[in-house]
Amino acid sequence: MDFALNDDQLAVEGALDKLAERFATSPVDFHGFALVSQELDNELEESQYFEIAAIPEMGPLSAALAVERLARLPYTAEIALSMLVRPHLDLELPRPIAVIENGRPGRYVASAKTLIVIDGDSVGIAHPTPDDVEALPDSLFAYPMGRLTGSPEVTPLPAEQAEAVRNWMRVACAAEMAGLLQAAVDATVEHISVRKQFGRPIGTFQALRHRIAECAVLTGGVRWLALKAAWSGDAGDAALAALHAQDSATRVIYDVHQMSGAMGMTLEMDLHLWTYRMKALISELGGRSGQAQAVAQHCFGASAA
């Protein structure tokens, strides 16, 4: 499977690379969990990157490429939902956008201007006031987490639109996970290339080479499935991409932290900025069991349990 980008898509990709260069390293004095950049958010907003999925020459594939590229940064901002889900709702919806799934805390909820509220099979839209939400600064997830404390009015979406929102949320999850996986693998490769044991870098030992190669293969698979789902817009492709992303992340997180040793468990190494975000994404949309049910429904015609 391969994708040939058109000239407009290549231009966007080059511009994103230039933008990302300024956010490629974390501050030396940062030793926390959530490294949020309002500057990154502002630049994306001003350059209208959040609208590229609605541009015919770009489409959701370009948006997925952007989400994947930006997820590799140590900095985070509310990107995936705005780029891949909002265009299928209403581009005029105010952002940031966050998800409340069955009452659970969620990413960016405390700053959200639009909430996608999922309650069982129903999906609705709400616009909370600052009094309706609460930040959770002690969360270990490397996102700014928050929860809904008030009762804003929720406008239910029609069943067809609700299903479309779920599908594009799966694409967004897979695309973001692809970038996080790649960043985690890259950071681990750098570590095992310089960390020495028995007089040589530990990355030269065959056992570690095999394990990091398996992580790279899983990461590549997540990326291609995410891009295929963004390109096709197919519900089955979206479910497969999200399932493979969440399943692969559990394996890769374990391996990269083990290969990074004690450094991988400290806040001095940026690894946690990607793996702890993946831990949040692993449980979204019902987690792996939820994606497996969606695969059964959309790929094999099985009825939902």
The per-residue pLDDT of the chain, averaged, comes to: 92
Is residue 5's pLDDT more than 80?
Answer: no
Beta bridge partners of 106: 146
Is residue 231's pLDDT more than 70?
Answer: yes
Two structure tokens written together for 171: 């694409």
Phi, psi of 283 (to 5 degrees): -95, -5
Is residue 101's pLDDT more than 80?
Answer: yes
pLDDT of the residue at 53: 94
Domains with residue ranges and CATH for the chain: 161-300 (1.20.140.10)
Amino acid letter, 214: E
Contact 242/249 with Cβ under 8 angstroms? no
Query: How confident is residue 263, by pLDDT bands cut at 50, 70 and 90?
Result: confident
pLDDT of the residue at 134: 97
Whole-structure pTM value: 0.94
* Interval 187-222: pLDDT, tens: 999 888 877 677 788 776 778 889 999 999 999 999
Is residue 47's pLDDT more than 70?
Answer: yes
**Nearest Cα to 182, choosing from 129, 220, 140?**
220
Is residue 1's pLDDT more than 70?
Answer: no
